[in-house]
Chains A and B, each alone.
Chain A
Amino acid sequence: MNWLDSTVHRALVEAVLVGVLGGVVGVFVIARRLPFFTMALTHATFPGIVIAALLGVNLYLGGGLFGLLVVAAVLAFGRGRGQDFTTATGIALSGGFALGVVLVSAQDGFTKDLAAYTVGDVLAVGTGDLVATTAVAAGVLLLLALMGKELLLAAFDPVGAAALGLPTVLLDFALLAVVEVTVVATVPALGTILAVALIVGPAATARLLTDRLAPLFPLAAAIGVACALAGVWVSTLWNVATGASIALFVGLVFGAVFLGTAVRGRVRRAAAVRA
């Protein structure tokens, strides 16, 4: 009898993994203002899933590979004359989603599978999913640790990075690909739509609490893990949807911290006026 044979144990491990991954990657997503891109990716990977389902290959492999194509397309289009990144992202979002819907409507039979894919179910996570998430988390954390300073410069000052001779196109691709594999790895637990919550929310919450870059990473990871574990706990307790429970916790924590820091800011300002 293996500890991981239990559904709940597997769910807890997955929750910790996606919490850390989403939190850490989210710091870059927030700093680089990529929440919209992240949202778009969740939709743009959709046709890849459908195609994978049609071909009978692994859904996440399909979504992942298709997502990389979308990342490359967004980067290429975003560099075109008179275009910017947001426009390209918007087109990827609607285009990808539309292609997915067309593919689905041309078939019958796997709509149930796809529903599970859009909302996710961390309690249905298998050992294979855990291995995949662990591999993605290890790879992403290693990449961020090794190329952290170059990614930071390319994010903060792209022209300055190019002026140093850094390969900015490659660095942009690396960052967007990291977001992409994170989206895909988070999908089994939260589904395509709710994956955004765990990538954007904890990092945004951490950003309210600190101005410094170094503490942002552990703080966002800790908030992500806490929300993911709380979501799993609540969903097993009351038998409600896990992905949605996690996303709700993320929203609640952000709201509470936002109110807390706003009130503290007001009190400080009032004290400063009196002084």
Chain B
Amino acid sequence: MSERAPTLVLDRASVAYGDVPVLEELHGVVHEGEAVALIGPNGAGKSTFIKALLGLVPVVRGRIEVLGRPPAQARRDVAYVPQADTLDPDFPVSVEQVVMMGRYRRIGWLRRPSAEDRAEVADALERVGLAGRARDRFGTLSGGQRQRVLLARAIAAKPRMLLLDEPFNGVDAVSQHALLEAIGSLKAKGASVVVSTHDLAIAHLACDEVCLLNRHQFGFGPTGDVLTPERLRATYGGHALELRGDRVIVTQT
């Protein structure tokens, strides 16, 4: 694993909006082809973490390097998948138009999509199992399908790093499976994945590493080592935890 190149380096980094630090003492490394789960209660700073990797929230102490560069300079190789329910479902935009947005960076200003861009869009939709919905309006799809469209948009950008903000929230089993498959195939091609989630089972299933967050880091490392009841209890501030076999369920977040 250590022969693989590091894609994300956190070196005692603090991240702040204005003067108020939201995340402190982030420390860890992610390599090519690895996925890391961001786990923590609401308000822990998971979305802020992802925005910091995009260079949208400044690092005030320490260092964050994405693909060997400062975050804002790595954007052309990083794709961001927002939570589908943060987007206006009434917006008059079709599924294929949304996926095409992933190509805008390559298309550039003042230019129109080429045949190659169209082919990439069709291919990305195919990979999330929504090829038949290309011409439908985005808002007419279910929550899980919309999330898959947003993942297709990221796939169409051909990223070396993929950032997903709570992609599994309120997503049905079919969509969850499709999302996990698509994420797995990106990893197999060497992309790194950062995914925030409340679902510890998914972290076990899909991620090699876990970063436990609640305003500062409560652990960063291999999933099996970090996802312990003690650390989870510390992260969630003593909220009740239930243990069932290998699954840990946070009953209150």
Interface residues of A (CB under 8 A from B): 31, 33, 81, 146-147, 149-150, 152-153, 155-157, 159-160, 162-166, 207, 210-213, 216
Contact = CB atoms under 8 A, between A and B. Distances in A.
A135 B95 CA distance: 35
B4 interface: no
Interface string B93-108: 1100110110011010
A153 B104 contact: yes
A168 to B, nearest CB: 10
Interface of B: 18, 51, 54, 56, 72, 75-76, 78-80, 82, 86-88, 91-94, 97-98, 100-101, 104-105, 107, 109-110, 137, 140
Nearest to A149: B104
Contact of A147 (B79, B105, B109): B109
B135 to A, nearest CB: 8
A165 B92 contact: no
B92 A212 contact: yes
Given A146-B109, A157-B101, 14 more contacts: A33-B88, A81-B18, A150-B104, A150-B109, A155-B91, A156-B87, A156-B93, A156-B101, A159-B51, A159-B80, A160-B82, A164-B105, A211-B137, A212-B137
A157 B82 contact: yes
B75 A164 contact: yes
A216 B105 contact: no
> Which of A150, A157, A212 has the most chain B CB atoms closer than 10 A to its own CB?
A157
Contacts of A211: 92, 137, 140
30 contacts: A31-B91, A31-B92, A81-B18, A146-B109, A146-B110, A149-B100, A149-B101, A150-B104, A150-B109, A152-B97, A155-B91, A156-B91, A156-B98, A156-B101, A157-B82, A159-B51, A160-B82, A163-B78, A163-B80, A164-B75, A164-B105, A165-B76, A166-B104, A211-B137, A211-B140, A212-B92, A213-B92, A213-B93, A213-B97, A216-B92
Nearest to B153: A160
A71 to B, nearest CB: 22
B64 to A, nearest CB: 15
A213 B136 CA distance: 11
Nearest to B87: A157
B93 A152 contact: yes
A143 B168 CA distance: 38
Contacts, number: 66
Contacts of A207: 92
Nearest to A168: B56
Given A147-B109, A164-B104, A165-B75, A159 B56 contact: yes
A163 B94 contact: no
A33 B137 CA distance: 18
A216 B92 CA distance: 9
A225 B123 CA distance: 41
A270 B61 CA distance: 63
B49 to A, nearest CB: 14
Nearest to B100: A149
B244 to A, nearest CB: 36
A271 B93 CA distance: 28
B150 to A, nearest CB: 8
Contacts of A81: 18
B218 to A, nearest CB: 26
A260 B82 CA distance: 37
A159 B75 CA distance: 13
A213 B94 contact: yes
Contact of A165 (B72, B87, B91, B137): B72
B62 to A, nearest CB: 22
B93 A165 contact: no
A162 B56 CA distance: 7
B104 A163 contact: no
A163 B109 CA distance: 16
